[in-house]
Structure 1
Amino acid sequence: MRFAYTLSASLLAVASFVSASNVIDLDTTNFDQYVGGDRPALVEFYAPWCGHCKNLAPTYEQLADAFPTDKVVIAKTDADGVGRELGSRFGVQGFPTIKWFPAGSSQPVDYNSGRDLDSLVGFVTKESAVKSKIKPPPPPAAVQLDATNFDDIALDENKNVLVAFTAPWCGHCKNMKPAYEKVAKAFASEADCVVAQMDADDAQNKPVASKYDVRSFPTIKFFPKGNKEPIMYSSGRTEEQFIEYLNEHCGTHRTATGLLSETAGKVLTLDTLASTFFSAKLPERPDILTKAREYIGTLTDKKANVSAEYYVKAMERVLEKGEGWVVKEQARIAGLLASPSLAPTKLDELKVKANILSAFAVKKAEEAYEAAGEYLGDAAKAAKQAPYQVKDGVDQFADAVQEKVQQIKEEL
């Protein structure tokens, strides 16, 4: 019996330790002891039967653990029970209601931000100037707008800007945030295609939100370069859908990884000249190079002009060093692209070069593929015309042909 008693006592002690909470329970007998003194206090007015209060409880416990108890009070009171009088005193009409009491004051400020840990921690840190024990999240990838910088960024005539007008408490905004942040990272190196976000529920930002007819959250609008009349974004909220929209409206070629797509830097006319150049006979190549130079002279887009110059450079290298240069250069660039230490701008430059070089062997590959098809067709025709008695031999021949065609395809 003594052993059983000792074990029970130990279990109770462990349970008591595990259930220890830094959230202070308030009622009318101890309220003034903790609130209005030398420490600021955040007080949750809750009801035991309230579903939202139950959902908030674990987060509120984490919040209390995040701050030193000798500097900030994180408290709660059952405003439908022992704290009913306190709820009435402070005009509580719904649950949960959260109020902030500055140090030395019994006049609270309503808390109207999100109920997630980041929002609560941010509020307490801002109001108390006390740092939490929680490691701060990395800075957002999306450009943060407010009333002071909105016009300078969103209305910049030299930039395309996608703006998500959000609210900290908005569930749809929270669900969208991970995808939106990934898109912002993917477009971080695009100087004239900006992915931005604004807390449109913040008091100082509400006039801006009202100006652009923001009535619900999230509202997403695209401010195009030149003409800054915003366009309502009505596509989906997945990472892929945002990227597709921006590539179309910004003229970019980004992928979800942040790298450029296979079309980046390509110029259709120069692609055709490049493949013709590579498959042409040696005496014909200088004339094709001249045509490429003449075409570049007609381009007015600076970005297109930069990539177009590489078509000419590649043709010059082939004339100087032979066709083998293309294969060696492709291998060299592929190795560099696999490096994890390259700057985004260098990665973009290399990807554009790789895309352009792929155009040079296209025509030869197509010709070889067509030849393989003709080879197989001739074999099939011969098999049909062969006498029945030599069918086995023809089948073996056809198998050999099929194997040869497959080999050609793999080499391409």
Structure 2
Amino acid sequence: MRFFFAATLLTLAGAFASKVVDLDDKNFDQIVGQDKPALVEFYAPWCGHCKNLAPTYEQLADAFPTDKVIIAKTDADGVGRSLGSRFGVTGFPTLKWFPAGSLEPQDYQGGRDLDSLAQFVTKNSGARSSIKPPPPPAAVQLDASNFDDIALDEEKNVLVAFTAPWCGHCKNMKPAYESVANAFKGESNCVVAQMNADDAQNKPVATKYDVRSFPTIKFFPKGSDKTPIPYNSGRTEEQFIEFLNEHCGTHRGVGGLLSDTAGRVLTLDFFAQQFFSAVPTERPELLKKAQAYIGTLGTQTDAKVNTSADYYVKAMERILSKGEAWLVKEQARIAGLLASPSLAPTKLDELKIKANILSAFAAKKAEDATEAAKDKAGQVAEGVEAFAAMMEEKAGKVLGEL
């Protein structure tokens, strides 16, 4: 029985044994700088940041095969104090990468989250980890090599979040920011981007744009003047979307669906309402006026406006040829399609814009009907008041005679 219990303890100890190699001044040169590369953490037992990193570092060691790469640590304030001095360690934790066959390390400058550490080890060793890769970010990823090409593109509005992997506020903001990036993927002139401004290669960019804390968010408007505008609104999805709609001229809602104003052109709304309210014999002339107006828009107008304008005319032509019943049927057809969960985002946008434009046609009639109902209700109310006054007058006369 005792043998079984002891064997069980040994099995459990093996199962939970750390794969992080402990180093000191006696075994360091026998392990590091040999045939395998090594990532070494120089830590101190009292260091809070070291304690926070510890579970992540254990996961990192578990994720890589020990015959390909070494994940190690040394107490640089204790048994490894001489190692700390030897390799110029001045703070804790300090992470250094030692290539195979070399005792000349490079400092690790990346984030201290598991994904960042694992990506670094894989990039420098070629070893694959067992960590499931995260989904690609929705926000456009910027670095020193592509920042100017994207953020300073005169044809695009670009919102840039300057973040750091260790920043708690950045992590809290990430879900909302990713949702906004997804919502605006269909907007070619409104880009939602993110940069790891704590990465060594990106720090010059962050310094240039006066990034002093994380997250710092700046909006780079399209046009020749790309002077960034500080983003000082809230960090909810709704607040980001409201800001972008105002500055990009877009019409997105939470979740990415276009708002009810998307695709609408105020002047063409007027033509549509006049057209639908007119008697059939007047409609051909109103169609010509709408076509003439569209002709004045020219090629300089936004392509989306031209597409919307063409659909106003198409709807007028359909109503002329098929009658008002076409509008009702088309609205019902589009509403059914919009309810489908499998629509591609571009198709969803196209249908929503059509639905919005069609709603402009009936708006005048609905407004007129509402006004007529109000007038009728007012007339009835006036009649009731007059009748009540008459009855009150008669009652007064009767009482006077008594």
TM-score, length basis structure 2: 0.86
Residue in 1 that maps onto 2:318:
317
**Structure 1 residue 116 and structure 2 residue 117: aligned?**
no
CA distance in 2, matches of 1:56, 1:386: 85
Structure 1 residue 189, shift from structure 2 partner = 1.9
CA distance in 1, matches of 2:372, 2:216: 56
Residue in 1 that maps onto 2:271:
273
**1:47-72 CA distances to partner (integer Å, 9 max, x unpaired)?**
33322222211111110111111111
Q: Contact 2:138–2:181 (CA<8 Å) still a contact in 1?
A: yes
Cα 1:84–1:204 shift into 2, 3 Å: closer
Q: Contact 1:199–1:205 (CA<8 Å) still a contact in 2?
A: yes
Unaligned 5+ runs, structure 2: 389-402
Which residue of 6, 10, 16 maps to 1:9?
6
CA distance in 1, matches of 2:325, 2:190: 38
SS of 1:194 mapped into structure 2: strand
CA RMSD of the aligned region, Å?
Answer: 2.7
Q: Contact 2:154–2:226 (CA<8 Å) still a contact in 1?
A: no
* Comparing 361-370 and 201-210, the one that deviates more: 201-210
Q: Contact 1:46–1:78 (CA<8 Å) still a contact in 2?
A: yes
Residue in 2 that maps onto 1:72:
69
Structure 2 letter corresponding to 1:282: P
Q: Contact 1:41–1:74 (CA<8 Å) still a contact in 2?
A: yes
Q: Contact 1:102–1:108 (CA<8 Å) still a contact in 2?
A: yes
Residue in 2 that maps onto 1:200:
197
**1:98-123 CA distances to partner (integer Å, 9 max, x unpaired)?**
22221112232222221111111111
Structure 1 letter corresponding to 2:66: T
Residue in 2 that maps onto 1:368:
369
After superposition, residues 16-95 of structure 1 pair within 5 angstroms as: 16-95=13-92
Structure 1 residue 386, shift from structure 2 partner = 7.4
CA distance in 2, matches of 1:50, 1:209: 28
Residue in 2 that maps onto 1:283:
281
Q: Contact 2:109–2:200 (CA<8 Å) still a contact in 1?
A: no
CA distance in 1, matches of 2:314, 2:129: 57
Q: Contact 1:36–1:105 (CA<8 Å) still a contact in 2?
A: yes
Residue in 2 that maps onto 1:167:
164
Q: Percent identity?
A: 73
Structure 1 residue 378, shift from structure 2 partner = 5.6
CA distance in 2, matches of 1:88, 1:12: 39
SS of 1:263 mapped into structure 2: coil
Q: Contact 1:235–1:241 (CA<8 Å) still a contact in 2?
A: no
**1:179-198 CA distances to partner (integer Å, 9 max, x unpaired)?**
22222222222222222233
Residue in 2 that maps onto 1:307:
308
Cα 1:131–1:15 shift into 2, 3 Å: closer
Structure 1 residue 372, shift from structure 2 partner = 4.0
**1:152-187 CA distances to partner (integer Å, 9 max, x unpaired)?**
322222222222333334333333333222222222
After superposition, residues 245-284 of structure 1 pair within 5 angstroms as: 245-284=243-282
**Structure 1 residue 155 and structure 2 residue 169: aligned?**
no
**Structure 1 residue 96 and structure 2 residue 93: aligned?**
yes
CA distance in 2, matches of 1:325, 1:340: 25
CA distance in 1, matches of 2:154, 2:107: 40
Cα 1:36–1:14 shift into 2, 3 Å: same
Cα 1:84–1:145 shift into 2, 3 Å: same
SS of 1:274 mapped into structure 2: helix
Structure 1 letter corresponding to 2:240: F
SS of 1:359 mapped into structure 2: helix
Unaligned 5+ runs, structure 1: 388-412
CA distance in 1, matches of 2:9, 2:375: 85
Q: Contact 2:36–2:68 (CA<8 Å) still a contact in 1?
A: yes
Residue in 2 that maps onto 1:218:
215
After superposition, residues 231-246 of structure 1 pair within 5 angstroms as: 231-236=228-233, 237-246=235-244
In the comparison of the two structures, how many residue pairs are matched? 386
CA distance in 1, matches of 2:84, 2:154: 52
TM-score, length basis structure 1: 0.84
Q: Contact 2:156–2:222 (CA<8 Å) still a contact in 1?
A: yes
Structure 2 letter corresponding to 1:279: S
Q: Contact 2:197–2:206 (CA<8 Å) still a contact in 1?
A: yes
Q: Contact 1:45–1:98 (CA<8 Å) still a contact in 2?
A: yes
Q: Contact 2:263–2:353 (CA<8 Å) still a contact in 1?
A: yes
Q: Contact 2:141–2:195 (CA<8 Å) still a contact in 1?
A: yes
Which residue of 295, 298, 304 maps to 1:297?
295
Structure 2 letter corresponding to 1:264: A
Structure 1 letter corresponding to 2:194: Q
Residue in 2 that maps onto 1:185:
182
Q: Contact 1:267–1:308 (CA<8 Å) still a contact in 2?
A: yes
Structure 1 residue 373, shift from structure 2 partner = 4.0
Residue in 1 that maps onto 2:339:
338
